[in-house]
Amino acid sequence: MGTDEENKRTFTIYSQLNNIESLKELMSCPNSPLLSIAALADRFFEDIIYIDEEIEEIDWNQHYDMVGMSFMTQQASRAFELAERFKKNGSYLICGGMHPTNSPEEMLKYFDTVFIGEGEITWYEFIEDYLADAPKRVYTNQHEIDMNSVPLPRYDLLKMDKYKTIPVQISRGCPHNCEFCASTKVYGPKYRYKNVEMVMKEIEKIKELKHNPNIYFTDDNMLVNRPFVIELLQELKKTRIRWMSHTDISVADHDGILDLLYSSGCRKLVIGFESIEAESLKKLEKWKYNRLKTYGESIQKIQSYGIGVWGTFIVGLDDDDTSVFQRVIDFTLENNLYGAMISVPTPFPGSKLYERLENEGRILTKHWGSYTLWNVVVKPAKMSVEELQDGFEYTLKQIYSPEAVDKRMRYFKNIYSSLRRK
């Protein structure tokens, strides 16, 4: 939660955008790590309840022996408020996830126990200590978790009718090392994945609980291991589900994967382009910089297979001046991107960006609720805070104007017509 002013501005901006249903699908999704922790906790507690404030209110008359939270930076301010209130009710408080891993000392002000890194092994260490009335304040994972040892998440705890999209995590790790990303500090650069049989068991469990589910594979870079992906896509073809995920632009190089995506149920891929300004991209991540000249060609190829590309872009990087806004708009419209997620530089703790901007004294606030990717929380290098905020708003409104949406719809209508003829 940002400030009242920030929340009001965000609501106003997004209420004026057209055809953003796909964006809502990405954002209205339950927390998948907590479902895995619930599976680990199952044999130690009589009752486990999953609470999501996005769809329900907390029953403060109910006593919970233990309360566990997993959260990202933008959720941290709210997590602290909840922790203080649960503490007054006598609950034992634990936390883990992206922000707690990268800011453990801060967590100890609010939580009894903090988990650093992946929790599949340290959970059992903690529960043994907890049952012996000797829990530690911090548990740090020192091991690379075998994804095939991760239990089937407790999807049955979800109020399925309240969600458009259900999360499934099949892999951890990403080979890229983007300056703004804090994920690699938690999961590392090595790509680790569940075997296809395990993934299919999760899909079948979800299908038992929800008719025609829309699946969001929450992996940082789902399609990076080609042999595994091809095997998985061939099995997904049998499920008749619809799904979306994240990957990098190199998927355009692999016709074998592109041939299978649509028939496996994939309709959208989120691809991090980050910037179309060469110098900005070079400083963010060299691999993506080397692909910059092929962005347009790759987008066209992927989308020709019926897969909508959601591009992510950061505006206001250190080598961006105010001309960047129109360049991002032009790039998005010229390449007929299915959608675009626009953000401003946001230094999440644990990222190289946070370390650099902290050393430069350019972080304007550490009210974590403001770290939504939409609020300006750092001092830009080549424009004012007001210019960046106004430019961000202008960019979104142009990309999601009625005219831009109509252009995209006509483009994809032609693609789908062509695919049906084939």
What is the mean pLDDT of each successive set of 10 residues along the chain, which is 422 residues long? 82 86 74 92 94 94 96 95 96 96 96 95 96 97 91 96 93 76 72 94 97 92 92 96 94 96 96 93 89 96 96 96 97 96 94 93 95 96 97 96 94 89 74
Looking at residue 177, its pLDDT comes to: 67
Looking at residue 222, its pLDDT comes to: 92
Looking at residue 173, its pLDDT comes to: 82
Name the architecture of domain 4-20+245-421.
Answer: 2-Layer Sandwich (3.30)
Looking at residue 186, its pLDDT comes to: 72
Pairing of strands 171-172, 113-116: unpaired
* Matching residue, tokens 């705890």: 157
Query: Residues with Cβ < 8 Å from 30, sequence gap 6 or more?
Result: 50, 52, 158, 163, 166, 167
Task: Calculate the alpha carbon distances from 215 to 33, 98, 141, 401 in Å.
Answer: 15, 22, 29, 28
Cα(17)–Cα(188) distance, rounded to whole angstroms?
Answer: 36
Looking at residue 26, its pLDDT comes to: 67
Q: Lay out the sheet containing 92-96: strands in order across.
A: 66-70, 92-96, 113-116, 138-140
**Which part of the chain is CATH 3.30.750.200?**
4-20+245-421
**Which part of the chain is CATH 3.40.50.280?**
32-140
Alpha-carbon 73 to chain mean position: 12
Encode pLDDT of 1-51 as tens digits. 678 888 889 888 888 888 887 677 767 788 888 999 999 999 999 999 999
Pairing of strands 308-314, 339-343: parallel
Tell me the backbone φ, ψ of residue 273, rounded to 5 degrees: -85, -30
Task: Calculate the alpha carbon distances from 266 to 170, 172, 206, 258 in Å.
Answer: 15, 20, 17, 10
Name the β-bridge partners of 272: 312
* Matching residue, tokens 């296809």: 196
**Cβ proximity of 134 and 112 under 8 Å:** no
Cα(380)–Cα(268) distance, rounded to whole angstroms?
Answer: 32
Query: Residues with Cβ < 8 Å from 8, sequence gap 6 or more?
Result: none
Yes or no: is domain 32-140 CATH 3.40.50.280?
yes
Cα(88)–Cα(395) distance, rounded to whole angstroms?
Answer: 45
Single-letter residue type at 254: H
**Cβ proximity of 144 and 120 under 8 Å:** no
**Cβ proximity of 193 and 171 under 8 Å:** yes
Looking at residue 275, its pLDDT comes to: 94
Give the burial string for 86-105 (b: 16+ CB within 10 Å, else e): beeeebbbbbbbbbbbbbbe
